[in-house]
Chains A and B, each alone.
Chain A
Amino acid sequence: MKTILASLAVAVETGKRNDAKNLTQSLVDKGMAPLDIVEQGLVPGMSAIGNKFKKNEVFVPEMLIAARAMKECMILLEPLLAKAGIKPKHTVVIGTVQGDLHDIGKNLVSMMLKGANFGVIDLGANVDPSKFAAAAKEHGASLIALSALLTTTMPAMKTTVDAIRASDMAKLKIMIGGAPISQEYADQIGADGYSADAASAVDLALSLVGETH
């Protein structure tokens, strides 16, 4: 099983989605626990591609195909994880703010977070500001992540942060990102963190929930 896990990590890292899916299925068939498959197959694959990204050895295209391969595996594993009653240590609620329908970057961030063992509640795009706090409460999340790709929807990000701060989930950590966003803007609207890309988003998320990296 060790060699299959190693091949799975490589298949995820290199974005071979069919291989990744088949390898995951064969591990499931061999009776391996779903959490072990995530932790010993998918997580190493995603962290390898994330590290290469940080070193500028790969760019967004490679990240996106790796995330897509990971997604195929998670489609198989998520029902099994749920059935086994496995609750991730940290859950993040993520979404693109109201008025904005861009979701490719947000989906990549989601997949990277799953690849770091976060539970991810994805509210999709064009999300009403009030939905975030409600979902965080329902799922016991410790972090909210907001994405915006348009300069015209940056104000909706502020409205959303304000709505969270005005709710009974006011103390939740909030991280934001997207092409027009900057650290300065995060400070300005009272978000707890910003990161420029999906690889550093994982480090940020870990530090915001108090996991040293």
Chain B
Amino acid sequence: MTIPVHPPVGGPHPLPPPGDSAEPLSHWLETHGHPLNTRCGGRGLCNGCQIRVESPAGIVTERACQLTASDLPADLTRIQIPLTSCRDASLHGVTVFELRNPGPPPPTRPGVGLALDIGTTTVAGALWDFSTGRCLAEAAVANAQRRHGDNVVARISFSIDHADGLGRLRRALLNETLRPLIAGLCRDAGIAPAAITQAVAAGNPAMLHTLAGASLVGLATFPFHPVFLGDHHLTAADHGLPFACPLDLLPALGPFVGADITAGALASGLLADEPPALLIDFGTNGEILLKHAGGYLATATAAGPAFEGGRLACGAPARPGVISSLTRENGVWSWTLTGGGNGRPAGISGAAYVDFIALGARDDLINAFGRFNRRHPGVITVADAAPGAGVRVQLTEDLYVSEADVAELLQAKAAIAAGVTTLLELASIRATDLHTLYVAGGFGYHLQPANAQALGLLPAMPLDRIALIGNSSLGGASLLLHPHQRPALNALLADTHVIELNQIASFGDHFTDALSLPD
């Protein structure tokens, strides 16, 4: 007896039924090489792991995390896994970064440095040869913790709600993510891990807490009481890391404005810039750092995973084969794929969604609120779809964008845009006064800034003052391998005021305004 499983790519895969009758099907599929997007941590709160269960009676769509083998019909014909339910194993983070920091080059010395950026979604690393100042290897892998939730708070919930939850998160990060990443970096560099003489990690506090094995309870509810925010040093041996030196965790600015921003501020060059200047890191948490005449204001906007393709019908992170940018000429859409080529597109990246909305609004397919123009020949209506998902623009044979997708994207955009507006307002600065805007993060690196401005995602300002700097967290961690960078960082820590946007009365008003497109 086998169960016929049909993944979205490759042929059918007959699997032996689960041995344990209480095992959720999501877990069973994962052990057989089909990890699903259990982004709410298998709590049955989202639709990330939906599968289609087919029998002669018809097709039912169910959450695999809530099903066991005994829930399957006796006359099951097959289980189909939709593309949107696959946890994207081939996810690649951006390892590209620009070091704009103007300081003198570090003095050469013997040794090898490891810089890490521990993101909620991807974990990236770089190895540096101190004797030459050269980067020996860089790589990124998916954070194996993702099966326990697609955002930090879902992970925090997981650590609280499950027996040994923190241990499981920690092992997923250490054993399944960092160790393979470091092994791969060392292989590429042609060195033994024991040759690493210094190691530095940036990341948000929740990630650094799980790495250190520190309780996440203090990060769960307001007021937040993290176990640590400042520098923290881990003995490599205690954490099963394959080198002898300690791993230095960089300091954060606040409970949700992490060391990734501290590091990014350094890599971008913002610290040395003439104020006012702004850094936006487009991750799920959308952190913003504003340099003004009197110091720094920092905040996190909780944009969610939409710009990384999360929760969108055809959304995908920017991996090879996914649409990376869109254009529209004479009513015809055309696209480019990440990594080039002209195969059948496998998904739509966040940056391409931004292009879609900007061009759709320009050509009157979409109004300022994100509603589709039902009279436009480019807009179709499909019966029997989920609320809001029936009104669509079909881009390719398999890929479309629905009104519900645009609503989700506009909500994420509104969180970031309202965050920027609020910080600028608190410092009495107009966007047009900004000398520089640094856009960090994987999604940000692929953006077409003019389209992002048409959406209101980036403030209206001259394009030549906008710099896409890539993974500035990894860049900053790399710089901080060198002690002479430390004073600049200390100054940032001392001069930063962290803003809880919930406590700023005007944020809600800005959020409401930012839900529509700018006029």
A and B associate = yes
Residue positions of A touching B, CB distance < 8 A: 56-62, 64-65, 68, 98-104, 107, 125-126, 150-153, 156, 180, 182, 184
Stretch in B39-47, B240-248, B336-344 touching the partner: B39-47
Number of inter-chain CB pairs below 8 Å: 73
Q: Does B467 contact A (CB under 8 A)?
A: no
Q: Does B371 contact A (CB under 8 A)?
A: yes
Stretch in B49-57, B128-136, B168-176, B503-511 touching the partner: B503-511
Known: A101-B500, A101-B503. A184 touches B40 (CB 8 A): no
Min Cβ gap B496→A in Å is 21
Q: Do B515 and A58 have beta carbons less than 8 Å apart?
A: no
- Complex CA gap A151/B45 in Å reads 9
Stretch in B69-77, B149-157, B347-355 touching the partner: B149-157
Q: Which single residue of chain A is at the shortest CB-CB distance from B414?
A: A61
Q: Do B371 and A59 have beta carbons less than 8 Å apart?
A: yes
Q: Which single residue of chain B is at the shortest CB-CB distance from A62?
A: B369
Q: Do B502 and A152 have beta carbons less than 8 Å apart?
A: no
- Sample 14 A-B pairs with CB under 8 A, ordered by A number: A56-B388, A56-B391, A59-B403, A59-B407, A60-B407, A60-B515, A61-B407, A99-B222, A101-B222, A103-B502, A126-B222, A152-B157, A153-B220, A180-B40
Q: Do B370 and A59 have beta carbons less than 8 Å apart?
A: yes
List the A side residues contacting B284 at CB < 8 Å: none
List the B side residues contacting A65 at CB < 8 Å: 512, 516
Q: Does B429 contact A (CB under 8 A)?
A: no
List the A side residues contacting B370 at CB < 8 Å: 59, 61
Q: Do B515 and A64 have beta carbons less than 8 Å apart?
A: yes
Among B362-420, those with CB < 8 Å from A are 369-371, 387-388, 390-391, 403, 407, 410-411
Q: Which single residue of chain B is at the shortest CB-CB distance from A126?
A: B222
Pick the contact of B508 from A57, A61, A100, A104 — CB < 8 Å? A104
List the B side residues contacting A103 at CB < 8 Å: 502, 508
Q: Do A153 and B221 have beta carbons less than 8 Å apart?
A: yes
Q: A59-B407, A64-B515 are in contact. List 12 more A-B contacts (CB 8 A).
A: A56-B387, A57-B371, A61-B407, A61-B515, A64-B512, A101-B500, A101-B502, A103-B508, A104-B511, A107-B508, A151-B40, A152-B221
Q: Does B160 contact A (CB under 8 A)?
A: yes
Q: Which single residue of chain A is at the shortest CB-CB distance from B224?
A: A99
List the A side residues contacting B160 at CB < 8 Å: 152
How many residues on B have C-beta within 8 angstroms of the other chain's C-beta atoms?
32
Min Cβ gap A105→B in Å is 10
Q: Do A99 and B220 have beta carbons less than 8 Å apart?
A: yes
List the B side residues contacting A182 at CB < 8 Å: 44-45
Q: Do B512 and A100 have beta carbons less than 8 Å apart?
A: no
List the B side residues contacting A102 at CB < 8 Å: 502
Known: A56-B388, A59-B403, A184-B44. A152 touches B515 (CB 8 A): no
- Complex CA gap A107/B505 in Å reads 12
Q: Do A152 and B407 have beta carbons less than 8 Å apart?
A: no
- Complex CA gap A125/B508 in Å reads 13
Q: Do B512 and A68 have beta carbons less than 8 Å apart?
A: yes
List the B side residues contacting A101 at CB < 8 Å: 222, 500, 502-503
Known: A56-B387, A58-B369. A156 touches B512 (CB 8 A): no
Min Cβ gap A205→B in Å is 21
Q: Do B153 and A152 have beta carbons less than 8 Å apart?
A: yes
Q: Do A125 and B153 have beta carbons less than 8 Å apart?
A: no
Pick the contact of B509 from A58, A68, A125, A126 — CB < 8 Å? A68
